[in-house]
């Protein structure tokens, strides 16, 4: 019988060393690859990227709810936990509950009449424009002496859209249907790919929000919302099912309605987009637009959060808000 061949010890040792080098090289490639993926995701969704710091004289200084009360007193306003009335601004908030059991919906409606469109403004988290810069809606509101506020479009989660805030163009990457507020107190919905940013500014647009979809246009619900896609990035999911919601609508120039819907909790399942659109139409909105929802949906009034964010009375940080204050 022929004996099996045994290579010399030196050859066996060389073969083992080669295998070890291959294994180490492959391991390093895998680790580097995973590290690159993890960093890319963190860079895209977690790491702050400040593009513009807004000049200090363009924003209000931080204040507490006591200072908000002082501002209201100076305006000779009357107010309570749900209402605010002055010569230039009227806000009335109602808590509405429909359905029962697992089909119950809780939402908040703020009816707002302004004397001047300058009462409705936008503010950025940490007074900075960029991606992954967040603060709670209530903190941004307090820092800007807001009487009332809602979350905005969370522009900082994405790097596209046409973003104009308080008359300044920060981003010009048209991609979706958007909403614009104008200096004459009106609101319009439009396609970013069909109207240029220069046209918007020339028209008197003060703020644009890029989320969607458009809910009501020219007094009519725009579609059945059977398929809606706002983002195509990592972690995106369908938004047409029942969810917490935030929406803005115009009833007439300088007459607005803001709606925040609680959801994903025992006393409120949230609203579908179709239900939200019908609600906005029933409230008299001739134009209405869906803003960022889910855990972002927050309504703030006179130093307190009105609704129940995340079903835990705990806010999620956002990149921006819309807010109301006394006109200059």
Is a pLDDT exceeding 70 seen at residue 53?
A: yes
Q: Tell me what the pLDDT averaged over the chain comes to.
A: 88
Q: pLDDT-based confidence at 23, cuts 50/70/90? A: confident
A 10 A CB-CB count for 63 gives 17
Q: What is the pLDDT of residue 44?
A: 53
First-to-last alpha carbon distance for the chain, in angstroms, is 105
Is a pLDDT exceeding 80 seen at residue 17?
A: no
Q: pLDDT-based confidence at 147, cuts 50/70/90? A: very high
Buried-exposed string 65-100: b where 16+ CB fall within 10 A, e elsewhere: eeebeebbeebebebeeebbbbebbbbebeeeeeee
Q: 169-174 long-range contacts, Cβ below 8 Å, gap at least 24?
A: 169/197, 169/201, 170/51, 170/52, 170/129, 172/197
Between 23 and 134, the more confident residue is: 134
A 10 A CB-CB count for 188 gives 18
Take residue 246 and report the two structure tokens written for it.
């935030």
**Cα–Cα distance, 174 to 246 (Å, whole number):** 22
Q: pLDDT-based confidence at 223, cuts 50/70/90? A: confident
Q: What is the pLDDT of residue 156?
A: 95
- What values do phi and psi take at 128, rounded to 5? -140, 145
Q: What percent of the chain has pLDDT over 70?
A: 82
261-286 pLDDT, tens per residue?
Answer: 999 999 999 999 999 999 999 999 99
Do 164 and 324 form a contact (C-beta atoms < 8 A)?
no
Domain positions in the chain: 48-324
Q: pLDDT-based confidence at 19, cuts 50/70/90? A: confident
Question: Which ranges of 128-176 would DSSP assign to H, the alpha helix?
Answer: 137-143
Q: Could you write out the DSSP letters of every residue in 256-291?
A: EEEEEE--SBTTB--B-HHHHHHHHHHTT-SEEEE-
Q: pLDDT-based confidence at 52, cuts 50/70/90? A: confident
Take residue 296 and report the two structure tokens written for it.
């972002």
Q: Mean pLDDT, to the nearest integer, of 300-313? A: 96
**Cα–Cα distance, 198 to 124 (Å, whole number):** 22
**Cα–Cα distance, 55 to 71 (Å, whole number):** 23
92-133 pLDDT, tens per residue?
Answer: 999 999 999 999 999 999 999 999 999 999 999 999 999 999
Q: What is the pLDDT of residue 47?
A: 78
**Short-list 172, 199, 211, CA closest to 318:** 211
158-200 pLDDT, tens per residue?
Answer: 999 999 999 999 999 999 999 999 999 999 999 999 999 999 9
Is a pLDDT exceeding 90 seen at residue 328?
A: no
Q: Mean pLDDT, to the nearest integer, of 38-63? A: 60
Q: Could you write out the DSSP letters of every residue in 173-220?
A: E--SEEEEEETTS-EEEEETTTS-HHHHHHHTEEEEE----EEEETTE
Q: What is the pLDDT of residue 227?
A: 79
- What values do phi and psi take at 180, rounded to 5? -130, 140
Between 6 and 108, the more confident residue is: 108
Q: What is the pLDDT of residue 191?
A: 97
């Amino acid at each position: 019988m022929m004996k099996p061949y045994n290579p010399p010890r030196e050859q066996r040792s060389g073969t083992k060393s080669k295998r070890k080098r291959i294994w180490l090289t492959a391991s390093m490639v895998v680790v580097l690859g995973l590290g690159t993926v993890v960093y890319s995701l963190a860079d895209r969704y977690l790491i702050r990227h400040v593009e513009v710091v807004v000049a200090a004289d363009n924003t209000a200084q931080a204040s507490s709810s006591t200072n908000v009360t002082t501002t209201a007193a100076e305006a000779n306003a009357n107010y309570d936990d749900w209402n605010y009335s002055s010569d230039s601004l009227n806000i009335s908030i109602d808590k509405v509950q429909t359905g029962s059991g697992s089909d119950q919906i809780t939402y908040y409606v703020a009816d707002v009449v302004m004397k001047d469109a300058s009462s409705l403004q936008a503010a950025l988290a940490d007074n900075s424009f960029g991606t992954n810069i967040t603060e709670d809606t209530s903190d941004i509101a307090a820092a800007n002496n807001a009487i009332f506020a809602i979350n905005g479009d969370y522009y900082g989660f994405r790097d596209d859209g046409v973003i104009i805030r308080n008359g300044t163009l920060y981003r010009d990457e048209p991609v979706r249907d958007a909403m614009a507020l104008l200096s004459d107190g009106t609101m319009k919905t439009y396609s970013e790919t069909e109207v240029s940013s220069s046209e918007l500014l020339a028209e008197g647009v003060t703020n644009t929000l890029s989320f969607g979809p458009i809910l009501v246009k020219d007094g009519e619900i725009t579609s059945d919302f059977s398929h809606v896609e706002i983002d195509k990035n990592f972690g995106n999911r369908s938004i047409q099912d029942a969810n917490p919601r935030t929406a803005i609508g115009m009833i007439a120039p300088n007459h607005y309605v803001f709606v925040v819907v609680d959801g994903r909790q025992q006393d409120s399942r949230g609203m579908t987009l179709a239900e939200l659109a019908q609600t906005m139409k029933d409230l008299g909105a001739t134009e209405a637009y869906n803003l960022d929802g889910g855990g972002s949906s927050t309504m703030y009034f006179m130093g307190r959060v009105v609704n129940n964010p995340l079903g835990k009375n705990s806010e999620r940080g956002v990149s921006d808000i819309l807010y109301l204050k006394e006109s200059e």
